[in-house]
Chain A
Amino acid sequence: MRIKLNLAALKGIHWYEYLLRFLFGGAVTVGTGLLAKKFGPAMGGLFLAFPAIFPAGVTLVQKHECEKKKHRLGIVDHERGRKAAALDARGAAMGSIGLAGFAGSAWLLLTHLGAWSLLAALAAWVALSISAWRISKLRHRFTR
């Protein structure tokens, strides 16, 4: 399956949906900092992998898929929306493998490379997430 960039998709998203994500993302970042201050970095670090975008993301995916079909055919198809949200969630599971890779790389490299280690960790996240996604797609194809 090919990966595509669809910039037109941005038109279907309301500004307040991004505002909601901004507020939630900001709040989680502030909360993580406060937790680290109160309970120490070992506890605060857990929340660096808090699913900050996920609940809003899957809710919007389900809503947009339902609206798309309603707009085209006048049918409200909740099943289609749910399936799209489940696919998004499966992708997030693959992304979390990359997230663990990001954390591991940052942990190992931070004291050696300083801020540059974040770039290396980001590269690890991209490589691991895409590999996990590709393997899951291949597995799905062969077990079908």
Chain B
Amino acid sequence: MDLLLRFIVGGTVVVLFAALGDVLKPKSFAGLFAAAPSVAIATLGLAIVGEGTPYAAVEARSMIVGAAAFFFYAYVCTYVMTRYRAAAGRTAITGLLLWSAMSLTGWFLVLR
């Protein structure tokens, strides 16, 4: 039941932010919504209710590292799409490996 609630809340918040990004112009501004804290709002909200604020605060602290990895990931995607004329979907999906590697390295160096 908890997982189903998590799924519905997460999916709904993601769709709301995505729809907001779809109706805004110019493109680079709409892109801000691709980095919206949709999963974070859903997860932290549920963590506050279920596990309490100290638990949610630890998650939020780790999220700073994940966000730094997101910055480099999005920049590398921009560069690869512009410089090498790579397809957007393939670049973004392959780039998730970079995000994972950077996040885990950050976790190992700073948070462990």
> Measuring CB to CB, which residues of chain A are less than 8 angstroms from any residue of chain B?
1, 3-7, 9-10, 13, 18, 21-30, 32-34, 36, 40-59, 61-62, 79, 81-100, 102-104, 106-107, 110-111, 114-115, 118, 121-122, 125, 129-130, 133, 136-137
Q: Given the complex of chains A and B, what is the CA–CA distance between A7 and B70 in angstroms?
A: 28
Shortest Cβ distance from A8 into chain B, in angstroms?
Answer: 8
Q: Given the complex of chains A and B, what is the CA–CA distance between A89 and B28 in angstroms?
A: 7
Interface SS majority for chain A? helix
23 A-B contact pairs sorted by A residue (CB < 8 Å): A6-B24, A21-B11, A21-B18, A24-B11, A26-B8, A26-B14, A46-B65, A47-B103, A48-B37, A48-B43, A49-B40, A49-B63, A88-B28, A89-B88, A92-B31, A98-B32, A99-B35, A103-B66, A107-B60, A107-B64, A110-B53, A122-B37, A137-B28
Q: Are A42 and B107 in contact (CB under 8 A)?
A: yes
Shortest Cβ distance from B95 into chain A, in angstroms?
Answer: 8
Q: Given the complex of chains A and B, what is the CA–CA distance between A110 and B70 in angstroms?
A: 23
Given contacts A50-B39, A107-B61, contact A85 B70 (CB under 8 A): no
Shortest Cβ distance from B33 into chain A, in angstroms?
Answer: 7
Shortest Cβ distance from B80 into chain A, in angstroms?
Answer: 9
Shortest Cβ distance from A20 into chain B, in angstroms?
Answer: 10
Q: Which residues of B are found within 8 Å of A54, using beta-carbon distances?
A: 34-35, 74, 77, 92
Interface SS majority for chain B? helix
Q: Are A82 and B31 in contact (CB under 8 A)?
A: no
Contacting residue for B70 out of A4, A30, A49, A115, CB 8 A: A49
Counting chain B residues whose Cβ lies within 8 A of the other chain, the interface size class is: 35 or more
Q: Given the complex of chains A and B, what is the CA–CA distance between A97 and B21 in angstroms?
A: 17
Q: Which residues of A are found within 8 Å of B55, using beta-carbon distances?
A: 41
Given contacts A26-B11, A30-B7, A48-B66, contact A96 B39 (CB under 8 A): no
Q: Which residues of B are found within 8 Å of A81, using beta-carbon distances?
A: 88
Given contacts A48-B66, A110-B60, contact A25 B41 (CB under 8 A): no
Given contacts A26-B8, A61-B88, A130-B32, contact A99 B46 (CB under 8 A): no
Contacting residue for B34 out of A1, A49, A51, A62, CB 8 A: A51
